[in-house]
Amino acid sequence: MTTSRKAILATAAVLALGLGGVGVANAVGGDDGEGGATGAGADGAKAAALKLVPGGHVNAVERDSEKGATWEVEVRKPDGSTVDVRLGASYERVAIDPDSEASDSGK
């Protein structure tokens, strides 16, 4: 096998692995760091948060590690206030805190 053919095959293999990783990330959901977690896990976190805050509306969901949580779901309550619902890996309640970003920005 010639050197150029080996280089082409190696490049193709690297590209295939990279594209495969992107596909896996999209399939299991991602988190863009701005409250944009997606996928089945994020959907489960949203549903669990809404059970804990009846009548609420999900503003954002993201991965979280604060207070031992796995998920943080920002929920607007029916009265207009906002809370951060922190959930564990099995969507159990870890904490529900007033949304610090909303209070910092004067919302």
23-43: pLDDT as tens digits: 444 444 444 445 578 899 999
Q: Would you place residue 101 in the very low, low, confident or very high pLDDT band (cuts 50, 70, 90)?
A: low
Tell me what pLDDT residue 52 has: 97
**Single-letter amino acid code for the residue at 9:** L
Backbone phi and psi for residue 60, each to the nearest 5 degrees, phi listed first:
-160, 155
The CATH code for residues 31-104 is 3.30.505.20
Sign of CA dihedral 41, 86, 92, 80: negative
Question: What six digits make up the tokens of 24?
Answer: 């896996």
pLDDT(92) > 50: yes
* pLDDT per position as a tens digit, 66-80: 888 999 999 999 999
Backbone phi and psi for residue 17, each to the nearest 5 degrees, phi listed first:
-65, -40
**Single-letter amino acid code for the residue at 27:** A
Burial classification of residue 26, based on how many CB atoms lie within 10 Å of its CB (0-12 exposed, 13-18 middle, 19 or more buried): exposed
